[in-house]
Amino acid sequence: MQTVKVAYFSMEIALENAIPTYSGGLGALAGDTVRAAADEGLPLVAMTLLYRKGYFEQQLDQAGNQSERDVSWRPEDRLEPIGMVAEVMLQGRRVKIQAWRYQVQGLSSRKIPVYLLDTDLPENSAYDRTLTDHLYGGDERYRLCQEAILGLGGIRALERIGYTGVQSYHLNEGHSALLTLALLERRLGSADLRQASDADIEAIRERCVFTTHTPVPAGHDHFALQLTREVLGDNLAGTLEATHCCPAGMLNMTYLALRFARYINGVAMHHGEISHDMFPGYSIRAITNGVHAVTWTSPAFRELYDRLTPEWRHDNQYLRYAAGIPLEEIQQAHARSKGALLDAVRQRTGVQLDPGILTIGFARRATGYKRADLIFFDLDRLREIGRAGRLQLLFAGKAHAEDAEGKAMIRRIFEAAAKLRGAVEVIYIPGYDLQWGQWLTSGADVWLNTPHRPFEASGTSGMKAALNGVPSLSVPDGWWYEGHFEGTTGWDIGHKELPEDHTDEAFSLYDKLERVILPLYSGRPLAFAEVMRSTIALNGSFFNTQRMLSQYKLNAYALGQSTAQPSSPPAAPPTTRAAA
């Protein structure tokens, strides 16, 4: 028996570069959360799936056409097998689940166990054996099976492994929301779940915390009821219908999580407000995301902080005192980080970039709303701004295999790169991962962020950049509402008081580059270093997972004390535009 206070469930967790069980920001956040919990010894256990074939390996041809290959990795090289831990009934078949353990070691002596569930067992049918192969692969049926393995299987696995005392089940996004049914099942024993009373539901609510990451209704996971019946059986599907989580004939994982959570939050203050409007009747709070400071700080800046404020590793607030670091030291540490990035770029692509040129970084999942190609809106203007080799651009990011728009965006970047050749160097680095994330966010001079508003719930790569003194150039969305101080932590594109306008934003971007950033970078390097320094002091000291986790402890996790602002459940099912 082991007592833990928090059980953290996430469809993806980015543990280390060699374990390909993540696709993007959600996984990076989950990994950083676990690392922060390990640093302070929070009694937490995490649950996710194994993904034997990973999230694909990206290949790009000369024209920027992406193809995907399965990742081959050997779980037995990195993880500890702990045998069979649970069973779930899926499509009328008993599916057996085994687990693998990864231990995250932080600054404290406590290790945080992460369990990765796996159905590749000879006892299972050929189809069922593939259920934990691919992250975000397969069709709706495959996806619902995966979510049942994570939610239902995960709760049963915790019990079988011997965890007790959980005070908060933290649902990192709605994918794991079926865990609420497993908790209900455990409470009711052999009784029919459809008989659950309000008091039963209230008892489950008391223990669930839900973090939503999606700012638009279409992004919320949902499944047809007929499919839900086929996969989960009539009893569970009937229970879901009875709990009003199935508007418009669809099982909606967000509604399920909202219905069963005591505390609900968005991932930045602005996102909290948007979520509140999207789901009226629920009290939705906000806790802004962060990143794990030591993980995302480059070796050069780690050495600098270790020398000047050694406390920063266990207390990130000390980064506030970066304000006192001599500017030359900031410049030297950044030059080393940039050198490491340019070395990595040369090894990967054969291109030797000039370290003296303003280098703009952009690395994100390649999907439409991230608008990676906004900067190519007017190539003549960009060519003029970058004349005489004053500017170079680095991109990275994978498009989901089924995301035609994301793939087209990568091709457009390749086309623009070809047209700009000789004027502005543009390089797309294949295979964005945690390591490239670290090189790019620390080695670029400016971090570019141009999502369609309000699609970026938070965004975290700009926070990684801030820890390395790299200012952002960003449209007002997500975390940037809080992190932006014009000319101090970076620069705005467009204006938060105005509605989004593609053309206006493109020209605002060009203006900032041409009139503000380039003159500062090449003409007043010490003034540029001052922006870098205040970026660390203001944003590095705040947008980290140590601060984030302390806010979860104070506001969301019931760690013995009462929580602030518990949300009251609405009496009727929500009727909002999200139901459409």
Ligand X SMILES: *Cc1c(COP(=O)(O)O)cnc(C)c1O
Cα–Cα separations (whole angstroms), residue 28 to 10, 189, 392, 464: 11, 37, 27, 11
Both structure tokens of 543? 């947008």
List the interface residues with ligand X, window 40-69 (CB under 6 A).
none
Q: How far is the CB of 298 from ligand X (least distance, A)?
A: 14
| Residue with smallest beta-carbon separation from ligand X | 437
Closer of 95 and 465 to ligand X (Cβ)? 465
Q: How far is the CB of 447 from ligand X (least distance, A)?
A: 9
Binding part of the chain for ligand X, among 133-141, 156-164, 272-280, 433-441 by CB under 6 A, reads: 433-441
Strand order in the sheet with 425-429: 425-429, 391-396, 358-363, 446-449, 472-474, 490-492
Closer of 151 and 266 to ligand X (Cβ)? 266
According to CB under 6 A, which one of 282, 432, 439, 557 is a site residue for ligand X? 432
Closer of 154 and 490 to ligand X (Cβ)? 490
Cα–Cα separations (whole angstroms), residue 338 to 205, 308, 353: 48, 21, 10
Instruction: Annotate each residue in 176-195 with x if it binds ligand X (CB under 6 A) or - if it does not, as one string.
Output: --------------------
Q: How far is the CB of 240 from ligand X (least distance, A)?
A: 31
Q: If DSSP codes are grouped into helix, strand and coil, which group holds residue 539?
A: helix
Residues 425 and 443: their CA atoms lie apart, in Å, by 16
Whether cis (ω within 30° of 0) applies to the bond prior to 525 is: no
Instruction: Annotate each residue in 389-428 with x if it binds ligand X (CB under 6 A) or - if it does not, as one string.
Output: ----------------------------------------
Binding part of the chain for ligand X, among 23-31, 262-270, 328-336, 407-415 by CB under 6 A, reads: 23-31
Residue 570's CB is within 10 A of a number of other CB atoms, namely 16
List the interface residues with ligand X, window 518-537 (CB under 6 A).
none
Cα–Cα separations (whole angstroms), residue 492 to 459, 509, 552: 15, 8, 29
According to CB under 6 A, which one of 232, 434, 448, 536 is a site residue for ligand X? 434
Closer of 17 and 565 to ligand X (Cβ)? 17
List the interface residues with ligand X, window 364-383 (CB under 6 A).
364
According to CB under 6 A, which one of 11, 21, 25, 155 is a site residue for ligand X? 25
Residues 230 and 106: their CA atoms lie apart, in Å, by 43
Per CB under 6 A, 98 contacts ligand X:
no
Closer of 400 and 464 to ligand X (Cβ)? 464
Closer of 464 and 512 to ligand X (Cβ)? 464
Q: How far is the CB of 28 from ligand X (least distance, A)?
A: 4
- Residues pairing with 10 in the sheet: 172
Query: By C-alpha distance, which of 414, 413, 470, 472 is closest to 439?
Result: 470
| DSSP character at residue 468 | T
Closer of 110 and 175 to ligand X (Cβ)? 175
Closer of 24 and 490 to ligand X (Cβ)? 24
Helix (H) or strand (E) holding 505: helix 502-511
* Binding-site size, ligand X (CB under 6 A): 12
Per CB under 6 A, 75 contacts ligand X:
no
The C-alpha torsion from 56 through 402 and 458 to 512, rounded to 10°, is: 100
Q: 1: buried, middle or exposed (CB in 10 Å: 19+, 13-18, 0-12)?
A: exposed
- Three-state SS string over 143-179 comes to HHHHHHHHHHHHHHHHHHHCEECCCEEEEECHHHCCH
List the interface residues with ligand X, window 231-250 (CB under 6 A).
none
Scanning 41-98, the segments in alpha helix (DSSP H) are 75-78
The span from the first CA to the last CA of the chain, in angstroms, equals: 45
Q: How far is the CB of 472 from ligand X (least distance, A)?
A: 10
List the interface residues with ligand X, window 348-367 (CB under 6 A).
364
Q: What is the chain's length?
A: 580
Binding part of the chain for ligand X, among 20-28, 117-125, 178-186, 548-556 by CB under 6 A, reads: 20-28
Closer of 27 and 151 to ligand X (Cβ)? 27
List the interface residues with ligand X, window 450-509 (CB under 6 A).
459-461, 464
Both structure tokens of 171? 């649902």
| DSSP character at residue 279 | S
Helix (H) or strand (E) holding 94: strand 93-105
Q: How far is the CB of 442 from ligand X (least distance, A)?
A: 11
According to CB under 6 A, which one of 147, 433, 477, 492 is a site residue for ligand X? 433
According to CB under 6 A, which one of 137, 361, 437, 574 is a site residue for ligand X? 437
Q: How far is the CB of 459 from ligand X (least distance, A)?
A: 4
Q: How far is the CB of 302 from ligand X (least distance, A)?
A: 17
Scanning 309-457, the segments in alpha helix (DSSP H) are 327-349, 379-385, 404-420, 434-443
Helix (H) or strand (E) holding 263: strand 263-266
Per CB under 6 A, 24 contacts ligand X:
yes
Q: How far is the CB of 247 from ligand X (least distance, A)?
A: 29
Note whether 212 and 173 are within 8 A (CB). yes
Q: How far is the CB of 29 from ligand X (least distance, A)?
A: 8
Closer of 23 and 534 to ligand X (Cβ)? 23
> What residue type is 566 in one-letter code?
P
Q: How far is the CB of 350 from ligand X (least distance, A)?
A: 23
Q: Phi and psi for 428 in degrees, rounded to 5?
A: -105, 120
Q: How far is the CB of 25 from ligand X (least distance, A)?
A: 3
Question: CB-based contacts of 45: which residues, under 8 Å, 6+ apart?
Answer: 4, 6, 7, 8, 112, 113, 114, 115, 158, 163
Q: How far is the CB of 458 from ligand X (least distance, A)?
A: 7
Q: How far is the CB of 353 from ligand X (least distance, A)?
A: 21
Note the residues at the interface with ligand X (CB under 6 A): 24-25, 28, 364, 432-434, 437, 459-461, 464
